[in-house]
Amino acid sequence: MHPSVLEVRDLRTHFVSDEGQALRAVDGISFSIPRGRTLALVGESGCGKSVTSYSILRLVQKPGRIVGGQVLLRPRQGGEIDLAALRDDDERLYDVRGGKVSMIFQEPMTALSPVHTIGDQIMEAILLHQPVGREAARRTGIDMLRKVGMSSPERRFDQFPHELSGGMRQRVVIAMSLVFRP
């Protein structure tokens, strides 16, 4: 088994304006994350931390696009996937997002749907990636809310994001990202 779970090699993500000018938001970053370790990207506002993270999961919105480099994911099951080389409609991306790699977004209200309960949103992710029924997904979701320190998780599960404080919403997105132990 390879010692790195994720290796980013010379990643380049650019945004091209209508006039053809390229903004090099990420211009040649390389790093690796050893299995079982944590890596923090630290830097000034606007230096490319978020675009790097979005690039890894192939979530960069147009007019941005990855123009070079590799994003090598090495799952526990073995093998290697170059996420940067996959087409946008490749089924492996859906398996990776949430199932193997999760992202905790900085602003939870942009990550949560205002018209669905937090429980429905957590259960949707569980049901998409695990062969379990709705009741088991509910139990798993409530248990994860409890693990991230959510008060009254059974009650919160049935609430909408606007009914929670900012800190509680942040705990919800953390729970959603950890539910599969990525």
Go through 12-22 and write b for each residue having 16 or more CB atoms within 10 A of its CB, e for each that does not.
bbbbeeeeeee
pLDDT digits (tens, 9 = 90+) for 60-105: 999 999 999 999 999 888 889 999 999 988 888 888 886 788 777 7
Query: What average pLDDT does this structure show over 16-38?
Result: 91
Collapsing DSSP to helix, strand or coil, 72 comes out as strand
Structural domain span for residue 9: 4-86
Measure the CA dihedral 77/84/111/169, to 10°. Answer: 50
- Residue 162 and residue 125 share a domain: yes
If one counts the domains in the chain, the total is 2
Identify the burial level of 26 via C-beta atoms within 10 angstroms of its C-beta, where 0-12 means exposed, 13-18 middle and 19 or more buried: buried
Check pLDDT > 70 for residue 182.
Answer: no
Decide if 100 is inside a domain: no
